[in-house]
C-alpha cells in the first residue's frame, strides 16, 4: 500500500479517536480556549508524526526524532482511548435502555421511567477525563524521568555445585543498552557510577548495544569504558546488533557494521563471546562462562550452544549469557549437562507495566513466559534483566531501567 494512503488511513483513525473523546471535553466545558488546545495539540502531534514518517529513511532507521514522535502520540492518544472506553460503555447502556423503552412503550403503552441515562453524561465525562489523567501523567513521567530512573536489583542465589572459592562472588548484569536512543550524557554517567558503586567482581552485558548501527555507540564509548570489574567484563550480541532492521546499500556495508561493533566491544573493554566460553579462575578452581550469539523463537538464531560449550567439562559450574529468554525455555534448561545460571534480557518488560511488592504485570507477559526477574526449574536458574536503555518508545512507565547484582552462594 502506498505510504501516503497508509498515513491518510492512520491519521483518519486518530482523528476519529479525537472526535469521540472530544465529546467528554465538550460536555464539561464550552470554553473555546480549551477546545483550541485540545484540537491544536492533536493536529500538531499528528502533523509532526506524518512529517517524521514521510522523511523516514529505511537506510538510517529510527532516530531520536522518530522516538519523540511516537512518545507524543502515546502521550496524547492512550488517555483518549481510555476516555473512549468509558464513553462507549455508557453509550452501550444508552442503546440498551433505548431499545428496552421502545419495546416497553410499544407493547405495554407506557413509559418505563428509565430514561435517565442522558442526564448522566456529564458525570460520565468527568469520570472518563479523571481516569485519562492516570496514563497521561504516567507517560509524561516515563518520558521525562522514567527512562533514566535506574534501579539496582540485588539477589543471592544458592548453588550446591558452586566451587567454594566463588562463594560470595558478585556479578553485575546490564542488558539492552540501545545507545542510539540516548539523549542525556549526565544520566548515562550517573548510571556508570551506579554500576561501579556495586564493586562487583565481574560485569556482564547481554546484548543489544545499539538499535541498528555501530556508529550509535561512538558518543558513549568513554562512558562504558569506565566500568570496572576485577575479574573482567564480558558481553554477547542481541538481535538488534546485527543490523537486520534497516536497509543497507550493499551486503558488505552490513558486514562492516557488525565488524565495527565487534571492535567497539573491545574499545569499551568487554570480551565479546561469539559462541565461545572462558574459564574464570580463582585460586585453583574455576567456573565456565559461556556466551552465545542471539537465539530467539521469533528472532535470529545464530546462537550455537554446542559450539559454545566446546571444551567445557560437564561437571563445571556454568554461567550462560544468552540474549533472548526463549532460548532458555526451548534449549538451555534441558541441555545435556546442567547450566546453572543463564542471564538474558531482550524483553525490556515492554517498558510499561506495574511492579509493586507481590505483584508484577506487563503486556509483554502474553509473549514471554519469562520476561523479568529470577526463575528456577530443577536447580537451573534464569535471570531476565529489564533492560538498561529504551527503544521504540522514548520512556519507561512502571518498568524501570535495571542494573542487576547477583551474589553467588554455595549451599
Return d(Cα 372, Cα 387) in angstroms, integer. Answer: 9
The reported pLDDT for the residue numbered 95 is 76
Question: For the whole model, what pTM was predicted?
Answer: 0.91
pLDDT in tens, 202-251: 999 999 999 999 999 999 999 999 999 999 999 999 999 999 999 999 99
Adjacent-strand bridge partners of 361: 354
pLDDT in tens, 157-170: 999 999 999 999 99
Fold (topology level) of 150-410: Purple Acid Phosphatase; chain A, domain 2 (3.60.21)
Q: Is 34 a residue whose pLDDT tops 90?
A: yes
* Per-residue cell: 326: 526463549
All structural domains of the chain with their residue ranges: 3-144, 150-410
What value does the mean pLDDT of the chain take?
93
pLDDT in tens, 104-154: 677 766 555 545 455 557 888 888 999 999 999 999 999 999 999 999 999
The reported pLDDT for the residue numbered 120 is 53
234 with 321: CB under 8 angstroms? yes
pLDDT in tens, 334-388: 999 999 999 999 999 999 999 998 899 999 999 999 999 999 999 999 999 999 9
Other Cβ atoms less than 10 A from the Cβ of 86: the count is 20
Dihedral sign of CA atoms 392, 228, 200, 325 in order: positive
Dihedral sign of CA atoms 107, 108, 114, 119 in order: positive
Distance of CA 264 to the CA centre of its chain: 23
pLDDT in tens, 387-408: 999 999 999 999 999 999 999 9
Burial tier of 77 (Cβ tally within 10 Å: 0-12, 13-18, 19+):
buried
Which helix or strand (DSSP H or E) is residue 329 part of?
helix 326-330
Amino acid at each position: 500500500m502506498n505510504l501516503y494512503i497508509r498515513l491518510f488511513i492512520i491519521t483518519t483513525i486518530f482523528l476519529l479517536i479525537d472526535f469521540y473523546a472530544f465529546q467528554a471535553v465538550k460536555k464539561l466545558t464550552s470554553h473555546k480556549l480549551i477546545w483550541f488546545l485540545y484540537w491544536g495539540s492533536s493536529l500538531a502531534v499528528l502533523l509532526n508524526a506524518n512529517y517524521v514518517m514521510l522523511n523516514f529513511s529505511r537506510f538510517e532507521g529510527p532516530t531520536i526524532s522518530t522516538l519523540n514522535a511516537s512518545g507524543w502520540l502515546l502521550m496524547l492518544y492512550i488517555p483518549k482511548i481510555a476516555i473512549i472506553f468509558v464513553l462507549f460503555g455508557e453509550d452501550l447502556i444508552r442503546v440498551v435502555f433505548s431499545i428496552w423503552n421502545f419495546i416497553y412503550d410499544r407493547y405495554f403503552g407506557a413509559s418505563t421511567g428509565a430514561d435517565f441515562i442522558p442526564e448522566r453524561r456529564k458525570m460520565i465525562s468527568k469520570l472518563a477525563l479523571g481516569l485519562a489523567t492516570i496514563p497521561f501523567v504516567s507517560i509524561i513521567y516515563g518520558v521525562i524521568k522514567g527512562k533514566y530512573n535506574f534501579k539496582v536489583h540485588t539477589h543471592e542465589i544458592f548453588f550446591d555445585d558452586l566451587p567454594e572459592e566463588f562463594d560470595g562472588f558478585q556479578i553485575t548484569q546490564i542488558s539492552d543498552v540501545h545507545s542510539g536512543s540516548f539523549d542525556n550524557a549526565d544520566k548515562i554517567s550517573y548510571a556508570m557510577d551506579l554500576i561501579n558503586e556495586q564493586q562487583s567482581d565481574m560485569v556482564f552485558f547481554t546484548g543489544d548495544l545499539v538499535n541498528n548501527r555501530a556508529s550509535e555507540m561512538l558518543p558513549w564509548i568513554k562512558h562504558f569504558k569506565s566500568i570496572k570489574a576485577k575479574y573482567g567484563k564480558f558481553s554477547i550480541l542481541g538481535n538488534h546488533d546485527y543490523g537486520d532492521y534497516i536497509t543497507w546499500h550493499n551486503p558488505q556495508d552490513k558486514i562492516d557494521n557488525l565488524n565495527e561493533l565487534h571492535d567497539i566491544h573491545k574499545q569499551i573493554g568487554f570480551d565479546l563471546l561469539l559462541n565461545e566460553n572462558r574459564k574464570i579462575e580463582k585460586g585453583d578452581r574455576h567456573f565456565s562462562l559461556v556466551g552465545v550469539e542471539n537465539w530467539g523463537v521469533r528472532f535470529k538464531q545464530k546462537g550455537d550452544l554446542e559450539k559454545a560449550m566446546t571444551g567445557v567439562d560437564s561437571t563445571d559450574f556454568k554461567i550462560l549469557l544468552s540474549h533472548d529468554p526463549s532460548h532458555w525455555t526451548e534449549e538451555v534448561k534441558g541441555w545435556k549437562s546442567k547450566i546453572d545460571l543463564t542471564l538474558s534480557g531482550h524483553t525490556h518488560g515492554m517498558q510499561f507495566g506495574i511492579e509493586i511488592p507481590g505483584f508484577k504485570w506487563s503486556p509483554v507477559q502474553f509473549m514471554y513466559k519469562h520476561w523479568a526477574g529470577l526463575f528456577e526449574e530443577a536447580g537451573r536458574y534464569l535471570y531476565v534483566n529489564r533492560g538498561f536503555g529504551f527503544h521504540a518508545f522514548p520512556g519507561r512507565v512502571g518498568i524501570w531501567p535495571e542494573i542487576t547484582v547477583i551474589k553467588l552462594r554455595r549451599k
